[in-house]
A and B are shown apart, each in its own frame.
Chain A
């Protein structure tokens, strides 16, 4: 066998960071000969994960060919592989894979993996993988191709995230995993975890699932693994017994697992991206296929998927945005300008304010004072925080000492005098400019001239709020998304007079709160709510014009958004949604449609358009329909979809012209982190380019 035919592939990506296969011969205890131990190492420290590109896999394959010769001549009695500290391998080098533009190149890349990995099963001596750390995608499949595996109890990041990335575990994972763990666990690893915020396994759960045959603690993981391997060479019956017990299944179970996988994909993604379904197809067929048959189908699927825009947009969203841009916010001032924050004030003690108090106390570990107009409200707010802390204590997410500490940090007062020594005061009172202005004015009486005044407003002008302050340069927008604890986005709003020190402090606090901050201009509704508002406008307009609810609400199904527009409106609360829409309408006029029917629903006290009937099906009750009025120009699904695409392209084009954010990348980052829009859309702008909306509306594309 030879790897020559893959060399052209390596030449296509000269910049690959090559992970070398470093071989050392380790004498096995008990006179059982020598083990050739391969360390996968890219020569860089732990901040640069080990990845697998063409040159890496060619070197790995050739190393195995050489070891096969040595095994034949009796020089070695086993082969094992492990990684540099913290990594076995973090999977295929995505930027390399993304750069392979032609189908033939993709196919070669797929075949290269199989050619190299399959050698692990045909060396003539047993092969072992010692999973010392991260083993993702191709990095886990390399271990699955070995005969035996150990895993470190400190390893984390073990999984097959291909369905999330837009590919399939097509280097044998889809075939080998279910045969080790049983079909149900395999579908969890290949489908449920990737589609649940790309969750992964730790060492212990990987061992328990059957991915590894033995679990060792990190302090002497490699020493124990080598010792264990020597024992297995002597007698592998324990391993075989354990595997037999873990991988027991019948055909029905395999089919049920496939069906469960499909249902999960439908619920999570509306089948908007091709990869997850393809994973289940391959998994289902793998039951009766030979490994070679499955390998051919896997290569076919990889070749096809590598060319899909969904894959490329996901890599953009995941690597370029979430992993890189989110960590270095565009336009943020120099970090060294940030001022320390040793005490925080929260104006208001309602639900939003209480959530903010909890977040600040937990993440900043500084005193947080809530204020409100009367003691009852204050007590309720502080009480809510304490109850939440007790809940976390009950779930053991906090230790008793830590819970005591956080509780003691959160206090309440009816007097803003309690803010006197605060460095950062955030208001979360009613969305009414005059109310917010008077709150700021009151706070300014009490606090030091340097104290930052932040507002969690979702739609009001920060500049207007600050204009009567003695120090307007201290005001900054600090816009969270609900639920505060779960949503990673923080829109930081720079008003024209906001000082750099204030902005830097806001970014530093955002980072301490473990949020991803994006710098936005002081423009109505900032980014996420403005784009959602434009979308709501189009859908509600189509509905009011006479399009039936199902058609209007499901028109965006092909985008795979986490929720349909009407359901999202119900979740946000119809009055809140309408309030934002009103402010957008008053700022921008008719391009933000203000739905009369929505107002009717609000007036009638309805929580949302859809209600569930006795069978649990979503329906719009006749009684509701009777309240509403409709025009006579219904649209088709295609028409609603297209007008929404065009509206989004139009609005985003305007936002970029206005300079609301620095670049379309920030729009996409906001929609991914603040609205949960799918990565396979690239957030939104790559999708709008792809479907032609950008060109139709703006005459050019965003990217």
Chain B
């Protein structure tokens, strides 16, 4: 009698961040650089650039393509991970799926597929996100359940992100408009400096575009930044969410179009295929908070991730925190006792300057952290973190492979 088979037991494997790229971010609206370009084409250009930059990766070795979008209709619909794989020219054997966690879409695409890698379901994946806020204005086509209002589950004002940012100012009176504006000015200055040092350009994918009545051009840099912005410039801006409020277009991220994509692999597959290891995934966590103050989400998410990793905030040498609003970053810094101008935080500036095409931003943070790791081998651990609509936060902790004490490949140890 044959012995019944026993399934193999999976071992947790190391997950590494191989590479990440993004399109230049554009301003949403008819005059933006991507106005005439489809959202799915934006993500396709990223995936194709990743394949070109990593020629040792046979495309058939990609096990899944996870692409996030907040609005999953029109040119972001039809299971965008699968359509993007097909449109990118990946083999038809490569599957794909769509992900949504609003602003943390790309981050969730990374953590979800990374879990699959760790479990042994995947060797190599593409994870990314896209948001064409010109084609899909925030909240368009949604139908919030009337129970939110009737049962006072969520203050309807919390569906407007600007209102939640004003609420956060209410909760933390120490965070003044002046602090928020100063932070925003610094973000613009840091991005301009990073551009000057060519720290941004290497990971941008050029995107052809054509505006009505004009010829083709090839967009190769971000459209939203306003280098040279001063405190005085910002002081004059309207506060659209409240009369005499604190949140302005100047101390918040704009409405943007853009896409990002990253390659992740198991440490073993990366070694086998000759792919670079730019970061190793240490831990990740998502957490919920009151939707009315969604901007505080990174705090519990980070605490949870640190706990899992057995690290403290003092172990973190670099922070890439998404700047949906200056107040939300400042509330995080205050909580952890970090100075507004701490040089570990957002070295290349942030979304206030570069833009925040919702579901795509998570991978931008990671790509930038990876480059900073390479520039700064003294740093061992870094985090990427962001707040998420309807009251959430997400944090991913990464280890720098360039650090002297890099822990290396755990599965090797297991073997």
Contacts and interface: CB of A to CB of B under 8 A. Distances in A.
Contacts of B213: 22, 43
Interface stretch (B3-11, B215-223, B353-361): B215-223
A219 B216 contact: no
Query: What DSSP secondary structure best describes chain B's contact surface?
Result: mixed
Contact of B206 (A22, A24, A41, A223): A223
B214 interface: yes
B215 A41 contact: yes
A128 to B, nearest CB: 13
A24 B206 CA distance: 15
Interface string B43-72: 011001100000000000000000000000
B215 A217 contact: no
B206 A23 contact: no
Contacts of B175: none
Contacts of A227: 206
A233 to B, nearest CB: 15
Contacts of A222: 208, 216, 218
Given A39-B210, A226-B206, A227-B206, A219 B44 contact: yes
Interface string B195-213: 0000000000111101001
B215 A219 contact: no
B137 interface: no
Contacts of A459: none
Contacts of B45: 219-220, 223
B194 interface: no
Nearest to B44: A219
Contacts of B206: 29, 223, 226-227
B159 interface: no
B89 interface: yes
Contacts of B41: 219
A223 B216 CA distance: 10
A43 B210 CA distance: 12
Nearest to A83: B216
Interface centre among A26, A37, A39 (most CB of B within 10 A): A26
Interface in B217-245: 217-218, 220
Interface residues of A, number: 20
Given A217-B89, A219-B87, A26 B218 contact: yes
Nearest to A82: B216
A38 interface: yes
B89 A37 contact: no
A43 B44 CA distance: 27
A383 interface: no
B88 interface: yes
Contacts of B207: 223
A39 B48 CA distance: 24
A219 B48 contact: yes
A220 B218 CA distance: 10
B326 to A, nearest CB: 31
Given A220-B48, A227-B206, A37 B217 contact: yes
Interface string B79-94: 0000000011100000
Contacts of A562: none
A43 B212 CA distance: 9
Contacts of B205: 223
B44 A24 contact: no
Contacts of B218: 26, 37, 222-223, 226
A608 interface: no
Given A219-B88, A222-B208, A27 B216 contact: no
A82 B205 CA distance: 20
Contact of B216 (A29, A37, A217): A37
Contacts of B44: 219-220
Contacts of B87: 219
B217 A26 contact: yes
A223 B89 contact: no
Nearest to A130: B216
A70 to B, nearest CB: 15
A220 B213 CA distance: 21
Given A39-B210, A220-B45, A227-B206, A24 B216 contact: yes
Contacts of A29: 206, 220
5 contacts: A24-B216, A29-B220, A39-B215, A220-B208, A226-B206
Q: Nearest 5 pairs between A and B by C-beta? A: A39-B215, A22-B215, A222-B208, A24-B217, A223-B206
